[in-house]
Structure 1
Amino acid sequence: MTVGTYIPPHFRQDDPAGLAEVVENHPFAALVLADEQGQMPCVHLPFLRFGQRAQPETWRFESHLARANPVAEALADGCELPAILIFTGPDAYVSPRWYVDARETSVPTWNYQSVHVRGRVRLAGEGVPGWLDRHLHDLIDTHQARIGGDPFDWDHLPEKQIAGMKAAIVGIELLPDRIEGIEKLAQNKTATDRDGVIDGLHRRNDAECEAMADLMRSREP
């Protein structure tokens, strides 16, 4: 039996653009391995997605981590392990007092957005000249562009420092076999109740709640 993520049908997100949006806007993800000892080593890392944006079946993910990290140790000597990569978008507590139609019959809940990528993870770039340099430049350029300003390059750093830092890290790659999107955005409520939740979130004057309210509004029919 293949075990996936439990997702009620009205909360399932299958649209490739929606999945890609979460990965691109929230690239700092949790990676959890299923090792042979059942220890489940895990790590939080920024990931790059490669492949055709509209074709999740072509996607692959790259990152890097310290060689001393137990995740890297679990993948040593060419080992390839099952893993799940979890990208998390906005989330927010929802008070039933914000509903209109279902105020008297509802309980508190939590709205959230997430993408689960299941596949196999392995070390990447070992013994491949230029792989780590290319990966690091791609990662820096991608996120430097998100914040604007001048590009960053490490050429001003001493070569010995750069060499030492690169020697202490190793690349990893995850090849997906299943990608599941979850968006719990009160889709099971009436339009009036959803409007009430959006208004309640805006009144919180909190950045995370504002992000959830904006996401809910963007998904309205």
Structure 2
Amino acid sequence: MYTPPVFRDDDKESLRATIRAARLAQFLTATADGPVATPLPLYLDESAGEHGVIYGHLAKANPHWRVPPLGDGLAIFMGPDAYVTPAWYATKQETGKVVPTWNYVAVHAYGPVEFFDDPGRLLEAVSRLTDLHEGTRAAPWAVSDAPPDFVQAQLRGIVGLRMPITRLEGKRKMSQNRHAADRAGVAAGLAASERASDREVASLIPL
């Protein structure tokens, strides 16, 4: 990921927070037939290794897991993002030398890829992922709410994914390369937006 120093995020907790907050990731591998990508909900087990281990699952019918990866896999986690119009820059009034851009948060996680179909490991991965996304509901649904034979049948239709993270790259592009008046203009413009994601980006711009 191209990351100028001003946008680089090397803070370990910040990177993990972005991974935890992302509801859907892009999982990619390079193969002899070219790159292969699958959108997947993934979760991070922070208790293992220096950077943690990523888990998820794919449909067994998805050919992605059958194609041997060349080198490490890549999981892309996106945080909040927003379009930035030049109209918000004080510099527009001063010189007119401005262009549109996009503010965003992104984390790229790399590591060796393992696919597995052991029922016990699959059940644990599916249960943890379900608990993660059901946890904020008033009456959370759990995998154990479904009949055991039904759950086992569903497990036979998926393949687990495990990727120990060996390298993390973080980028937090939040107008840090603009002077204070331009940043303030962007923050004010986004804060007034009807989009919740725009308002979230506004709160992340350093003033």
Q: State if a TM-score over 0.5 links the two structures.
A: yes
Work out which of the residue numbers 107, 124, 132 in structure 2 matches 1:142.
132
Alignment of 1:78-117 (within 5 A): 81-101=71-91, 103=93, 104-117=96-109
Q: Check if 1:194 corresponds to 2:192.
A: no
- Structure 1 pair 48–154 and aligned structure 2 pair: CA distance change class (3 A): closer
Specify the SS of the correspondent of 2:113. strand
* Equivalent position amino acid for 1:33 in 2: T
Alignment match of 2:172 (pick from 183, 187, 207)? 183
- Alpha-carbon distance change, 110 to 56 in structure 1, aligned in 2, over 3 angstroms: farther
Letter in 2 for 1:88: M
For 1:130, what is the secondary structure of its paired residue? helix
Counterpart selection for 2:141 from 143, 152, 157: 152
Are 2:39 and 1:47 aligned? no
Number of the residue aligned with 2:161 = 172
Deviations 1:99-130 (A, max 9, x none): 11455221111111100112221213x33x52
For 1:68, the equivalent position in structure 2 comes to 61
The amino acid that maps onto 1:10 is V
Q: CA deviation at 1:171?
A: 0.5
How far apart, CA to CA, are the structure 1 residues paired with 2:49 and 2:150?
A: 38
* Residues 81 and 122, structure 1, Cα contact 8 Å, conserved in 2: no
Deviations 1:28-86 (A, max 9, x none): 10011101222x1110111111125xx983311000010111212225xxx78522110
- Find the aligned partners of 1:154 and 1:24 in 2 and give their Cα distance: 21
2:110 to 102, 118, 138: 118
How many equivalent residue pairs?
205
Instruction: Supply the RMSD in Å over aligned alpha carbons.
Output: 2.1
Where in structure 2 are the equivalents of 1:18-33 lying within 5 Å?
18-33=14-29
How far residue 148 of structure 1 moved from its aligned partner, in angstroms, is 2.7
Misfit runs of 4+, over 4 Å = none
Q: Is the 8 A contact 2:81 2:197 kept in 1?
A: yes
- State the identity %: 33
Counterpart amino acid of residue 141 in structure 1? D
Q: Which amino acid aligns with 1:65?
A: L
In the alignment, residue 109 of structure 2 is paired with which amino acid? V
- Letter of the 1:106 partner, please give it: V
SS in structure 2 opposite 1:57? coil
- Tell me, which stretches of 5 or more residues in structure 1 are unaligned? none
Partner of 1:11: 7
CA contact (8 A) 2:82 2:104 kept: yes
**2:30 aligned partner:** 34
Instruction: Return the TM-score normalized by structure 2.
Output: 0.90
Question: Once the 2 structures are TM-superposed, how far is the Cα of residue 11 of structure 1 from its aligned partner?
Answer: 0.5
CA contact (8 A) 1:132 1:171 kept: yes
Alignment partner of 1:212 out of 182, 201, 205: 201
